[in-house]
Chain A
């Protein structure tokens, strides 16, 4: 019971897709998508998109948790064992991260000195940087950090 399995994240992902779709089918244009045209989102759309995004984040971290921490915990330690391909993937992602970082700075400078850059582009580049960073950190945890599961006394001195 309450194993860290994929059921919850899977249904969260499904729900996120359904809620995004419901928000899109609200009958009004979703603001600022493709072309900088702006209209206000309705409160219904904001509510649906809020829960959709929350379920999406929940699903993502849920799948990462299953991959990185397993379905059930068993006490003990596991040493890291990076395969030969892992450093290559990590370096590739690090290069992409650096490129995105550079591109983001150029976008900001362009906005400041030449002409405004759309908010969608700014958000997309920054968001992509964070997501690549998340994958890099996950690779570090999976292949370089190892695992440790503790058994702790219920009554400890922490924090008092």
Chain B
């Protein structure tokens, strides 16, 4: 206590506490999704620091335990041999997956409760950028172990980047250091993965939180009766901070139990890159894009001036997700209401928004399913019919059900 008093006399900690640490946090379990995403990022940074100390981002051949192997691959085998090394590497993989999933569900929660509306448009856009950046960061990390799987999976992304008319070569140069795989690929991807993109992500997360603190959370509706026009919640310190501590420990406990029991990417199973290309699919969060690529015939080509072309890779891998992203970015500006959004909206009172969201989710499910086109022996015509009619049917059924059960638009 005397240490606190000593610091307080010099730094006026009491004032800091009164001004900044008393922010009211509304209580609802769905608010923890954003915190799970934040803790995933923190775990990724912490486990990433350990990995960087032992990883060599190079594809040059080195001798490791009597075998000639790429240095990056050999250094991953070395990490796996260290005490707790394999678990930390596996936790890094799982945390990346959980971060993508939690950012997605967090955005879904914001969408379904209308929390993207005025005045929170900027934070909605930042959230979308964070999702995109998280996916790109996870994708780049996939290449680093430089095993047969990683190299082949990254080549799919390299092909998509290259397919962008006029910009493709420049983008491939920026992200992959030229052709992939080449000697310059890993150092470039490594620098992006451990430095530039995490710095950008950290800056965006900081801005996202700062704006959230300024604009306050949306609140449960009952708060309107308890404290009309005000924010009802628990103070950040010590109440919310303690809950965050509990969540962080629960997160670490669940993550490390999982990471030890199930190794997410056992490099020794895939082996170093060889002459044969392994049969594989990209990570689950890219499967819907992969599915779209499977459905679009490679004959779909529109020539452009200057020798460029709109290819099937561009349509499936860039154009369709780009259009979906653009609609999502514009969403808050389509709502023309002028009043401030204070309270969480019930999805049942907004049947159109809710049903369109459900339809969109079914679009992702069907596109993901298309990733198994060959295994299920489906034709393109069947998959296209499913991609059009199942989301439409889900949208219509959800809309009718909500209107029948809960009545008109709220």
Residues of A within 8 A of B (CB): 1-4, 8-9, 30-33, 38-44, 46-47, 49-51, 53-54, 56-58, 60-62, 64-66, 68-70, 72-75, 107-109, 111-112, 116-124, 126-131, 133-134, 137-138, 140-141, 145, 147-154, 157-160
State how many angstroms separate the Cβ of B281 from the closest Cβ of chain A.
5
Chain B, residue nearest A126 (CB): B256
Give bound CA distance, A120 to B83, whole Å.
12
Chain B residues positioned under 8 Å from A118 (CB to CB): 260
A154/B27 in contact, CB under 8 A: no
Given known pairs A8-B29, A108-B83, A123-B258, the reply for A149 and B232 (CB within 8 Å) is: yes
Encode B258-272 as 1/0 by CB contact (under 8 A) with A.
Answer: 111111111011100
Instruction: Decide: B220 and A1 in contact? CB cutoff 8 A.
Output: yes
- Identify A50's interface contact among B101, B222, B266, CB under 8 A: B101
Name the one of A8, A38, A46, A133 contacting B30, with C-beta atoms under 8 angstroms.
A8
Known A50-B94, A54-B101, A65-B29: A145·B242 in contact at CB below 8 Å = yes
B20, B23, B260, B287: the one contacting A126 at CB < 8 Å is B260
| Selected contact of A2 from candidates B222, B238, B257, B280, CB within 8 Å | B222
B230 within 8 A of partner (CB): yes
Evaluate whether A33 and B262 lie within 8 angstroms (CB atoms) in the complex, with A47-B284, A133-B249 already known.
yes
For the complex, is B181 an interface residue (Cβ under 8 Å from A)? no
Q: Are B269 and A39 in contact (CB under 8 A)?
A: yes
Report yes or no: A150 in contact with B247, Cβ–Cβ below 8 A: no
CB of B51, distance to nearest CB on chain A (Å)? 15
- Contact at B264–A151, with CB atoms within 8 Å? no
Chain A residue nearest in CB terms to B283:
A43
A4, B33: Cα distance in complex, Å: 14
* Bound CA–CA A121/B222 (angstroms): 46
Decide if B28 touches A4 in the complex (CB within 8 Å): yes
Judging by beta carbons under 8 Å apart, are B29 and A4 in contact? yes
- A40 and B269 contacting across the interface, CB-CB below 8 Å: yes
Closest to A138 in B: B246
Q: How far apart sit A109 and B84, CA to CA, in the bound complex (Å)?
A: 11
Contact in complex: B232, A75 (CB < 8 Å): yes
The answer to whether B27 touches A69 (Cβ under 8 A) is yes
